[in-house]
Structure 1
C-alpha cells in the first residue's frame, strides 16, 4: 500500500507554513525511507525563516536535526556508518550534510564540512528533485548517495540532540581540544551552550563559567557542569561582566578558552575581552548573518595573541562522537528538550525562539523544541491535497 507523508512547507521569507501531503516514493538502490520520530527546531531554522541564510531556496521543508525508524530499505543498504547491520524497524540518527568527496575541500584539504557541492537535508528546495528532504515531515526520503547515519536505541527526543551538540565537539576539535585542568567560559545558555558546558567538563576542564540567562537555563547550566554562572540580567554592564569573569580565574588572567554560543554579534568583542593572553576563542553561534560587531584588531586579536576559530557545521566523526556521549546518559540531556510540538506548530516554536515569546502554552521558557510529526494536528488545520511523485 502506498504511503503518504504530511510535511510543513515554508513558502518564503517570513512566509506561511502549510501542511501538505505527498506520496512517499519507493527507495532506489542506496536509499531508504525514514519514519520521522523527532525533529529539532534549530536556531538556524529561525534564521532561515527570517531570510538570514541566502543559500536557501523556497518553498522548503526545513528540519536538519532528526531521527526516526527505517520504514523501507532500498537495495544495498545493509549497515550504518559504524558497520552495524540495519533492518526495517531500527532507529537511526541522520547526518544531514552529504559531501561530494570530489571537490578540493573534500579530496585535498579533507574538510568535508567545507564541501563546495554539499547537499543537506532540511536546507533543499521542496521540488521534484528534493521532495520530502527535511525532518519537518512524517517521512524523509534519504536519497542523497553517501548519506551517513547511525543506529541507536536512545529515546528519540534525546537522539535528536546529536546533530546540534556535535557542533560543540567540532569546535573543541578545531581549537586543539580542551586543555586538561583549564578554565572554559561559555557565552550563552541555549541548547548548544548547555552542550558546550557539558562537553567541556567531560573533556577535562577544571572550571567552567557560564554567562547567560534566564535563571531556568542557568540552573540547568549548573546541572550540566558549570561551576560559576553569571546572569546577564543581574549584571547588565559588559565591563562589569568582564571584571567579574576575570576575578573567577587564577591570577585574574581570564579563561583559557571562550566558546561563543549566543548568536548575538555584541557577544563577540565581549568574549574576546574575557580571554586570557594566548587563549582560544571558539565561535559557534553565528551560522547565519545577523549583523556585525565592532572589534579592535589590536586589542582583541594581536595584543592578546588570540587563537580564534570559526566553526561551520559538523561532520560524520563529530556526530558519531556526540552520539557515543549521549548514549552514556551521564547527564540529564532530556532536560534540554522543553517542548514537543505537532507538525502545524513549527512557526510557534520559531517565534518563541526568536524572543517574540519565551513561553509556549504557558509552559516553562523554551530551551529546545522538537517536532513530533505524528502528534495530532490542531482542529481546523488544512492539509493540502496529495501530490504524486510519479
Structure 2
C-alpha cells in the first residue's frame, strides 16, 4: 500500500488516499518519491483556472524519485538509451503520450502543442493511478521520458529549480541572449529567478529583475541580478524610467515575461528597446486581456515577440546538465524556502498561492 494527496476539485480541501502498488507493464517504472514541487500550476489547478482537468487528480508534475521497481522484460531506458537500474535517482518529463505523428510533432517540431499530450499531476486522473508527485510512489508509464540525476547534482538542488528551470531554459533560448545584452526579467518567481540565472550563463552584460514580494527579490539579489525593481514601491512609469536609465535610454535588448499578469505584457514591450526581443512565458492560464498600442508598442519599435509554452524532454535534460555543471556558482537548494510532508500539503499550497515562499517541496 502507498499514500497520495488528492485534489478533488477547485477550492476543495486536499485529501489523503491509499492505493495498492500498481502491477507494472513492460517498460514501466515505479518510483519511490523523494520530492515533488508545489508550483504556480498547482495553484492554478486549485483555483480551477485550467480547462480539461479530470478531477480528482494527484498534484505534482515535476518530481524526483528513486527507482523502486522496473516492469518485466527489457528494462525501461533513460533519454540517453541506457537501461534504468533499481536505486537510481531520476526525474522525468511530466508530459506523457506525445504522439510523435501529428503535424505539430513531425512538421512544426513543437511537441508542447501535440493534442495527444497528457501531463502527470495535471491531466491524468487520480482514479486511474499514481500519476502525480504528491505521493509516496509514482507510476511511470511505458514511454515516459526519464532523465537520471548525476552524482554531482543532489535531488534537492534539482528540485529547487523544478519546472521553473526547464521552462526558463526554453524562454531564454527563444530570447537568443547574446554576450553583453541587457536582459529584463519580469517576475521573481521560480521561472523568473531561473531565467535571471540562465541569462547570466548565456553572457548577459546586465540582468534586471522586476517583481516582488521581498522574499523573492532577496533571492534575485543573492543569485546575481544587477538591479532589482520592486513593483510595490515603483509605478510602471518609474520602472520604465529605471530600465531606461540603466540602458542608456534604449531599454532592454531582451525581456522575458514570467509574471502571469496580463498587464505585464504591454509594460514589458515598453521596457524593451527598439528592434529588441520580447519572450512571453508567464501567461500559462487565461487571466484576462491587456491593451497594447500596435503602432507604438510593436510596429514602430520593430519589436520581435515570441510566445513560449512549457518545455519538452530536451529542456529538462539540458536543465539537469546545467544545474550539475554550475552548482558551485549557484547554490540552487537555497531557493527552497520550506519542505512539507503529505499531511501538510494544504499548507504548502496556500503558502505558494500567497507567495510566502520562493520554492516549496512536498517530501513524502
Short-chain TM bin:
over 0.9
Q: Distance in 2 between matches of 1:219 and 1:84?
A: 41
1:333 aligns with 2:332: yes
**Matching residue of 1:379:** none
Displacement, 1:263?
Answer: 1.4
Displacement, 1:219?
Answer: 2.5
Displacement, 1:271?
Answer: 1.0
Given candidates 50, 55, 58, the residue that maps to 2:55 is: 58
Displacement, 1:125?
Answer: 4.0
Cα 1:127/1:352, change in 2 over 3 Å: closer
Displacement, 1:221?
Answer: 1.0
**Matching residue of 2:105:** 106
**Matching residue of 2:90:** 92
SS in 1 for 2:109: coil
Given candidates 5, 8, 22, the residue that maps to 1:8 is: 5
**1:277–1:304: 8 Å Cα contact kept in structure 2?**
yes
- Give per-residue Cα distances to partners, 1:258-284, cap 9 Å, x unaligned: 111111122111111111001111112
**Matching residue of 2:167:** 167
In structure 1, the gaps of 5 or more residues are: 359-364, 374-390
**Matching residue of 2:119:** 120
Q: Distance in 2 between matches of 1:302 and 1:349?
A: 44
**Matching residue of 1:136:** 134
SS in 2 for 1:14: coil
Given candidates 36, 39, 43, the residue that maps to 1:39 is: 36
Displacement, 1:173?
Answer: 2.2
Matched residue pairs, number?
Answer: 357
1:205 aligns with 2:187: no
Given candidates 306, 311, 316, the residue that maps to 2:308 is: 311
1:275 aligns with 2:272: yes
**1:42–1:65: 8 Å Cα contact kept in structure 2?**
no
**Matching residue of 1:370:** 361
- Give per-residue Cα distances to partners, 1:152-210, cap 9 Å, x unaligned: 133222222343210111112223x2111110001111111110010000011111111
- Give per-residue Cα distances to partners, 1:272-300, cap 9 Å, x unaligned: 11110011111121211222222222222
SS in 2 for 1:116: coil
Q: Distance in 2 between matches of 1:126 and 1:55?
A: 11
Q: Distance in 1 between matches of 2:163 and 2:146?
A: 11
Q: Distance in 1 between matches of 2:317 and 2:309?
A: 17
Give 4+ residue runs of structure 1 displaced > 4 Å after superposition. Answer: none
